[in-house]
């Protein structure tokens, strides 16, 4: 008969059967593992920047629960740890962040808890462990004063949160010289995150969706195929896009053409097209309705490489649709070839008026997120040094002026995250309709499978 079982041996055996012990970071076939690198890191600030579904939340919850349970194989802590888990909103916390952490913190470790919501999906406020450590949960859409007061040892921030909230979080870390982990996909390209990466004490780990072997490869491929180039760089590779805030910050002189002595000339003085443009080139147009806001009509031609050259922009408010109908009728009659399609905003009454006046339109594809990405693709300067959309100046000045104002909201809350403020976007919406008309979109539904909670807010689509 064996003697009394050694409690430490029992504890070790129990731990070996727990989910945290079963966790393995993913690796690429050639042995790279940003997840493993992050686990080993003892930097003051860790930044794990990855594509959608690349394993950001997994890594963050492992690092956080190891520290909370004092089971980190790379570090031990001899003081009681106060940890914060910060995410964008409570829905995301309840929807995927808490489940990810809970998986690694079995009930037997939990001494007490408080809840924002007890029924599923449960939303914790804090979890106190038998070892004295505590995890508090914070939502970035709460007011900044909800972040005041505490002195904390560690904060994990999952996904982009407003810079003002981040400042509060970092202030809480000062007293205990605590550690910070941020895991995110750079959907918004926030400046504070770029700055954080450049700080001397920061270790940066990069993960790509494609490398995560736990994802069904066919779904990843389908998702990749549904994305524009710009979106692929952000959402799969986790690369930064353009500057913070503006929706179309890249619109600039490279996209402008000016008429000079019978030619359209670009900003480097190169003659790009004859002017007027050849009558045989296809004409297309787009309309954004407005009465109080500006009504916009954009007219363009497609060159033989299908570049879109926008050369006319009618822009104005306080005119009834019947007036516009007459103006547009003249405009399209004066065009050297049939203007078709004329992609239009959806107001059925206004479209019927235009149709009646001899200006038939086609309903535009209005998905904002996808439309913006497609416009980005057209704006992108290609290998030949040219974009795939040009704006003739000064006619397109109203559009360019809008581009300097049209922006995303500062506060990021769940599902509105990818949606800009609905202002200064009249000519830009017409541009989006034209580009979506030309470049279309993938059939609805593709991408649902793996489009991450990380950038969708986890709850449905707009
Ligand atoms: N090391 C791992 N072991 C097992 N599964 C993993 C691992 N890393 C990631 N996964 C799985 O891959 C999927 C994506 O991981 P996770 O949710 O952590 O990614 P994410 O980058 O946070 O995604 P999102 O963009 O949706 O926020 C999940 O099903 C997760 O369980
Ligand atoms: Mg995630």
Question: Quick one: pLDDT at residue 444?
Answer: 37
> What is the bridge-based pairing of β-strands 134-139 and 202-207?
unpaired
User: What confidence tier does 254 reach under pLDDT thresholds 50, 70, 90?
Assistant: confident
Residue of 59, 158, 212 best suited for mutating to test ligand 1, as the one with most atoms within 8 Å of CB: 212
| Residue 139: C-alpha distances to residues 153, 172, 314, 376 (Å) | 18, 15, 45, 31
Mean pLDDT of 306-335: 96
Q: What is the rounded CA–CA span in Å between residue 411 and residue 162?
A: 6
Higher pLDDT, 191 or 181: 181
Mean pLDDT of 18-37: 97
> What is the bridge-based pairing of β-strands 308-316 and 362-363?
unpaired
Q: Whose CA is nearest to atom 23 of ligand 1?
A: 53
User: What confidence tier does 402 reach under pLDDT thresholds 50, 70, 90?
Assistant: confident
CA of 61, closest atom in ligand 1: 18
Q: Whose CA is nearest to atom 8 of ligand 1?
A: 55
Would you give the DSSP letter of residue 145?
G
Residue 122 has pLDDT above 70, yes or no: yes
Higher pLDDT, 406 or 321: 321
Ligand nearest to the CA of 235: 1
Q: What is the rounded CA–CA span in Å between residue 320 and residue 222?
A: 45
Ligand 1 centroid, distance to 54 Cα (angstroms): 6
> What is the bridge-based pairing of β-strands 295-302 and 308-316?
antiparallel
Q: What is the rounded CA–CA span in Å between residue 156 and residue 396?
A: 46
Contact 234, 185 (CB under 8 A): yes
User: What confidence tier does 25 reach under pLDDT thresholds 50, 70, 90?
Assistant: very high
Contact 130, 46 (CB under 8 A): no
User: What confidence tier does 52 reach under pLDDT thresholds 50, 70, 90?
Assistant: very high
Mean pLDDT of 33-46: 98
- The environment of the single-atom ion ligand 2, i.e. residues with CB closer than 5 A, is 56-57, 454
Ligand 1 centroid, distance to 37 Cα (angstroms): 16
> What is the bridge-based pairing of β-strands 271-274 and 263-265?
antiparallel
Question: Quick one: pLDDT at residue 441?
Answer: 60
Ligand 2 centroid, distance to 56 Cα (angstroms): 5
Would you give the DSSP letter of residue 365?
P
CA of 455, closest atom in ligand 1: 25
Ligand nearest to the CA of 208: 1
Residues with CB under 6 A from ligand 1: 24-26, 35, 50, 52-58, 185, 212, 214-215, 452-454
Ligand 2 centroid, distance to 97 Cα (angstroms): 7
Residue of 58, 185, 453 best suited for mutating to test ligand 1, as the one with most atoms within 8 Å of CB: 58
Which residue ranges form the domains of the chain, and what is each CATH number? 14-235 (3.40.50.300), 253-449 (3.30.420.280)
Flag the least confident range among 33-47, 309-323, 378-392, 434-448: 434-448
Bridge partners, residue 127, by sequence:
113, 135
Ligand 2 centroid, distance to 53 Cα (angstroms): 7
Q: What is the rounded CA–CA span in Å between residue 147 and residue 152?
A: 11
Ligand 1 centroid, distance to 389 Cα (angstroms): 37
CA of 159, closest atom in ligand 1: 27
CA nearest to 44, candidates 274, 240, 199: 199
Ligand 2 centroid, distance to 453 Cα (angstroms): 6
Question: Quick one: pLDDT at residue 448?
Answer: 40
Question: Quick one: pLDDT at residue 4?
Answer: 81
pLDDT digit string, tens, across residues 60-105: 999 999 999 999 999 999 999 999 999 988 989 999 999 999 999 9
Q: Whose CA is nearest to atom 16 of ligand 1?
A: 55
Q: How far apart are the first and last CA of the chain?
A: 67
CA of 207, closest atom in ligand 1: 21
For the chain, give the percent of residues with pLDDT over 90.
73
Bridge partners, residue 179, by sequence:
154
Mean pLDDT of 102-125: 96
User: What confidence tier does 260 reach under pLDDT thresholds 50, 70, 90?
Assistant: very high
Flag the least confident range among 125-139, 172-186, 253-267, 430-444: 430-444
Contact 226, 257 (CB under 8 A): no
Ligand nearest to the CA of 207: 1
Q: What is the rounded CA–CA span in Å between residue 260 and residue 274?
A: 10
CA of 60, closest atom in ligand 1: 18
User: What confidence tier does 244 reach under pLDDT thresholds 50, 70, 90?
Assistant: low
pLDDT digit string, tens, across residues 203-231: 999 999 999 999 999 999 998 887 767 77
Residue 308 has pLDDT above 50, yes or no: yes
CA nearest to 429, candidates 309, 290, 241, 254: 290
Residue 453 has pLDDT above 50, yes or no: no
The verdict on pTM exceeding 0.85 is no
Q: Whose CA is nearest to atom 15 of ligand 1?
A: 55
CA of 451, closest atom in ligand 1: 26
Is the preceding omega at residue 123 within 30 degrees of 0, hence cis? no
Would you give the DSSP letter of residue 103?
T
User: What confidence tier does 415 reach under pLDDT thresholds 50, 70, 90?
Assistant: very low
For residues 450, 453, 456, 458, the Cα torsion angle rounded to the nearest 10 degrees is 120
Ligand nearest to the CA of 238: 1
Q: Whose CA is nearest to atom 5 of ligand 1?
A: 214
Question: Quick one: pLDDT at residue 447?
Answer: 40
Residue 305 has pLDDT above 70, yes or no: yes
State the helix-helix crossing angle for 348-356 and 321-334, rounded to 10 degrees.
50
């Amino acid at each position: 008969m064996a003697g009394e079982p050694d409690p430490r041996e029992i504890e070790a055996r129990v731990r070996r059967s727990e989910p945290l012990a079963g966790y393995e970071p993913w690796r690429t076939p050639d042995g790279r593992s940003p997840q493993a690198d992050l686990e080993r890191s003892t930097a003051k600030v860790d930044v794990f920047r990855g594509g959608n579904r690349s394993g950001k939340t997994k890594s963050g919850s492992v690092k956080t629960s190891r520290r909370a349970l004092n089971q980190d194989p790379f570090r031990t802590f001899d003081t009681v740890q106060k940890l914060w888990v910060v995410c964008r909103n409570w829905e995301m916390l309840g929807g995927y962040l808490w489940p990810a952490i809970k998986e690694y913190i079995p009930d037997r470790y939990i001494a007490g808890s408080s809840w924002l919501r007890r029924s599923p999906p449960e939303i914790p406020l804090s979890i106190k462990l038998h070892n004295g450590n505590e995890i508090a949960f914070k939502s970035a859409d709460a007011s900044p004063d909800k972040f005041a007061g505490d002195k904390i040892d560690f904060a994990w921030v999952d996904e982009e949160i407003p810079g003002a909230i981040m400042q509060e979080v970092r202030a809480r870390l000062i007293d205990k010289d605590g550690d910070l982990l941020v895991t995110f996909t750079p959907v918004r390209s926030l400046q504070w995150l770029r700055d954080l990466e450049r700080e001397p004490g920061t270790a940066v780990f990069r993960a790509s969706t494609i490398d995560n072997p736990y994802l069904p490869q066919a779904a990843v491929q389908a998702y990749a195929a549904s994305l524009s180039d710009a979106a692929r760089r952000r959402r799969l590779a986790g690369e930064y896009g353009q500057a913070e805030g503006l929706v179309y910050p890249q619109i600039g002189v490279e996209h402008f053409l000016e008429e000079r002595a019978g030619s359209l000339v670009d900003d480097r003085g190169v003659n790009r097209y004859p002017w007027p443009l050849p009558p045989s080139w296809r004409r297309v147009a787009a309309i954004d309705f407005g009465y109080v806001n500006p009504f916009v009509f954009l007219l363009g031609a497609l060159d033989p490489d299908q570049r879109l050259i926008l050369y006319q922009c009618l822009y104005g408010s306080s005119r009834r649709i019947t007036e516009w109908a007459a103006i547009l009728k003249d405009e399209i009659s004066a065009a050297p070839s049939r203007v078709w399609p004329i992609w239009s905003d959806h107001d059925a009454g206004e479209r019927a008026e235009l149709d009646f006046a001899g200006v038939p339109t086609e309903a535009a594809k209005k998905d904002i997120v996808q439309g913006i990405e497609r416009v980005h693709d057209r704006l992108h300067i290609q290998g030949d040094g040219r974009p795939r959309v040009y704006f003739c100046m000064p006619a397109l000045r109203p559009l360019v002026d809008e581009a300097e104002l049209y922006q995303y909201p500062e506060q990021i809350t769940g599902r509105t995250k990818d949606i800009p403020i609905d202002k200064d976007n009249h000519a830009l919406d017409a541009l989006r309709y034209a580009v979506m008309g030309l470049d279309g979109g993938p059939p609805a539904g593709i991408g649902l499978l793996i489009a991450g909670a990380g950038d969708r807010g986890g709850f449905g689509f707009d």
